[in-house]
Amino acid sequence: MKQIYYKSTRGNGVEVTAAEAIARGLCSDGGLFVPTSIPKLAIELKELMHMNYKQLALTIMKEFLTDYEEDELKSCIHKAYDKKFDTTIIAPLVKQGQSYFLELYHGPTLAFKDMALSILPYLLKIAVKKLNNNKEMIILTATSGDTGKAALEGFANVDGTKIIVFFPEQGVSEIQKRQMVTQTGDNTFVIGINGNFDDAQDGVKQMLTNKDLLKRLDDKSSMFSSANSINIGRLIPQVVYYFYAYTQLCNRGDIKIGEEINFSVPTGNFGDILAGYYAKKMGLPIKKLICASNENKVLFDFINTGIYDKVRDFVITMSPSMDILISSNLERLLYAISGQDSVVIKNLMEQLNKNGKYEINSTMKSELGDFFGGYATEAETSNAITEVYKNTNYVMDTHTAVSYVAYQKYLGQTKDATKTVIVSTASPYKFTPDVMKSIDAKYTGLNDFELIKELSKITNIDIPAGIVDLEKRPVLHKTVCAKNEMQKQIEKILKL
């Protein structure tokens, strides 16, 4: 097997193992770790068809994590994808009408982030051991709603770690917020900020590369890592479910092995859809990756013009996990389509930091053909929830609805009859006010917890275990700070 190493998108030239890339989270030069090459699938597609999720995860992940022993990966996968998921299938593909929905929300926090954050703590523990590192790991994380709870769930009470999560105080749903601020575990810390997700993410990135702060941490035998999708250990596990969706379509006879399919992906930080791009580069027959944005449509504009411009109004929408104007993982795609030219990437990121925008060259623009950009307005998102429920009795969450709208627009523009999988990233239980009033105006005015019960009634599905008693759980994390005081909070927690 070819050894895969990792290096910075911004070109410090140093190649490291997967273990070191996962442990460090972010490169010292501010770039993101990327594999030196995308490995090709080592076996024929037909050999994947009868694998369960765990077997498929091992097959895909060992191609990227070549310094991990197979038994180490098996152990991580076995511990990650266990009874914490409410289905042994882990990521079921559900057909409703003419649409296919890949349900990635059957984990403990009801969001797709569980697919990667259930395994990241185990990958990280092995990475630390491989590096003979006895430092305490400080997991520093920004969240737009779902990553925070999934990371807290994964790292709570893990020996040798602390996890600190920052979230926009006014930018997440009530269910998302309650999931985080009621989190138990002596090593967990949750802080709201008076700002948006981009502010939280920027603050985390600054701390991860602050040399003075890093030295003070080192003096206390501690080091930072991250559970955000900037960590390559978050991205690689997500590649698996693209292959799994494909095998399910084949096994039910809806496509033939080797036939191309499309994926429509609700996109904020670009990590989820980038995993699909990596899957395609590995050899999965993907025709088009539909990049679905809400009214914060910075990615839609970029795909259609080659200009990335964050200088615009920030819109708070009913799909808050996508309320993002700085899509960090896009940097990894830029690196790939530039021919791995770190000088180009460094210049683009400097332009973004200085001017708030950049434009890629014509050669790079021509490489965006794998993607289609689509977006949904708030009205379109709500109408999609109404339409799908009325026609099939299936309830989508607000993010999945954005993806559904983008696919319908793609279909209308291209008439492409290729089978398309809509990536469903969250349970409707996490966004009940907007979901339920889309279904029927009579639900307007009920609170989130009343609406959870109403949703259970109309779907005839039990309330998920992760939120069944959420309203009664005590609030344990009450700190809120200004966006420029994030480091002070870290210093206080870590006694620096």
Closest CA to 52 of 243, 232, 211: 243
Confidence check: pLDDT of 281 > 80:
yes
- Average predicted confidence (pLDDT) for the chain: 95
Can you list the domains of the chain with their CATH numbers? 93-111+233-462 (3.40.50.1100)
- Across 200-215, average pLDDT: 93
245: confidence class by pLDDT, cuts 50, 70, 90: very high
134: confidence class by pLDDT, cuts 50, 70, 90: confident
Convert 189-213 to b/e letters by CB count within 10 Å (16 or more is b).
bbbbbebbbbbbbbbbbebbbeeeb
Confidence check: pLDDT of 13 > 80:
no
- In angstroms, rounded to a whole number, what is the distance separating the alpha carbons of residues 126 and 132? 10
Per-residue pLDDT tens digits for 106-132: 999 999 999 999 999 999 999 999 999
Per-residue pLDDT tens digits for 33-59: 999 999 999 999 999 999 999 999 999
**Taking the CB of residue 471, how many other CB atoms lie within 10 A of it?**
15
Confidence check: pLDDT of 304 > 80:
yes
* Token duo for residue 120: 């990241």
Long-range Cβ contacts of 357-366 (<8 Å, 24+ apart): 357/307, 357/308, 357/309, 357/310, 357/311, 358/307, 358/308, 359/305, 359/306, 359/307, 359/308, 360/306, 360/308, 360/334, 362/306, 364/306, 364/334, 364/337, 364/338, 365/306
Half-sphere exposure of 273 (CA within 13 A, CB side): 31
Q: At what angle do helices 232-251 and 120-130 cross, to 10 degrees?
A: 130
Contact (Cβ atoms closer than 8 angstroms) between residue 117 and residue 234:
yes
* Token duo for residue 131: 């590096």
Per-residue pLDDT tens digits for 89-100: 999 999 998 899
**Taking the CB of residue 297, how many other CB atoms lie within 10 A of it?**
22
Counting every residue written for the chain, the total comes to 496
Contact (Cβ atoms closer than 8 angstroms) between residue 398 and residue 258:
no
Contact (Cβ atoms closer than 8 angstroms) between residue 398 and residue 144:
no
Confidence check: pLDDT of 1 > 80:
no
- Across 359-364, average pLDDT: 97
Cα radius of gyration rounded to whole Å, the chain: 21
Classified as helix, coil or strand, 349 is helix
Q: In this prediction, what percent of the chain has a pLDDT beyond 90?
A: 94
159 or 69: which carries more pLDDT confidence?
69
* Token duo for residue 201: 């993410």
Instruction: Report the pLDDT value the prediction gives residue 337, as an integer from 0 to 100.
Output: 97
pTM: 0.95
Confidence check: pLDDT of 145 > 90:
no
Q: In this prediction, what percent of the chain has a pLDDT beyond 70?
A: 100
Closest CA to 227 of 90, 116, 131, 135: 116
Instruction: Report the pLDDT value the prediction gives residue 184, as an integer from 0 to 100.
Output: 95
Order of strands across the sheet that contains 136-142? 222-226, 136-142, 161-168, 188-194, 480-482
- In angstroms, rounded to a whole number, what is the distance separating the alpha carbons of residues 51 and 71? 18
Closest CA to 434 of 324, 313, 294: 294
Measured CA distances, 280 to 131, 230, 246, 355, 403 (Å)? 31, 20, 11, 33, 19
In this structure, what are the phi and psi dihedrals at residue 216, rounded to the nearest 5 degrees?
Answer: -65, -35
Order of strands across the sheet that contains 286-293? 93-96, 99-103, 420-424, 261-266, 286-293, 371-375
- Across 214-236, average pLDDT: 93
Confidence check: pLDDT of 2 > 90:
no
Contact (Cβ atoms closer than 8 angstroms) between residue 332 and residue 34:
yes
Confidence check: pLDDT of 408 > 80:
yes
Q: Extract the runs of DSSP E, i.e. beta strands, from 241-299.
A: 261-266, 286-293
Contact (Cβ atoms closer than 8 angstroms) between residue 136 and residue 222:
yes
Instruction: Report the pLDDT value the prediction gives residue 144, as an integer from 0 to 100.
Output: 86
Instruction: Report the pLDDT value the prediction gives residue 46, as an integer from 0 to 100.
Output: 97
Instruction: Report the pLDDT value the prediction gives residue 330, as an integer from 0 to 100.
Output: 98
- In angstroms, rounded to a whole number, what is the distance separating the alpha carbons of residues 282 and 280? 5
Confidence check: pLDDT of 414 > 80:
yes
Per-residue pLDDT tens digits for 451-465: 999 999 999 989 999
Distance between start and end Cα atoms, the chain: 44
Instruction: Report the pLDDT value the prediction gives residue 215, as an integer from 0 to 100.
Output: 95
Instruction: Report the pLDDT value the prediction gives residue 146, as an integer from 0 to 100.
Output: 83
* Token duo for residue 183: 């989190």
Confidence check: pLDDT of 406 > 90:
yes
Instruction: Report the pLDDT value the prediction gives residue 386, as an integer from 0 to 100.
Output: 98
DSSP category for residue 265: E
| Cα angle 170, 171, 176; round to 5 | 100
* Token duo for residue 231: 């960590």
Confidence check: pLDDT of 298 > 80:
yes
Contact (Cβ atoms closer than 8 angstroms) between residue 86 and residue 106:
yes
Confidence check: pLDDT of 228 > 90:
no
- Across 68-74, average pLDDT: 98
Q: Extract the runs of DSSP E, i.e. beta strands, from 294-375.
A: 307-309, 357-359, 371-375
Helix (H) or strand (E) holding 482: strand 480-482
Instruction: Report the pLDDT value the prediction gives residue 354, as an integer from 0 to 100.
Output: 96
- Across 179-200, average pLDDT: 96
- Across 140-164, average pLDDT: 91
Instruction: Report the pLDDT value the prediction gives residue 133, as an integer from 0 to 100.
Output: 87
Confidence check: pLDDT of 420 > 80:
yes
Which residues does 136 contact at the CB level (< 8 Å), separation at least 6? 160, 161, 162, 220, 221, 222, 223
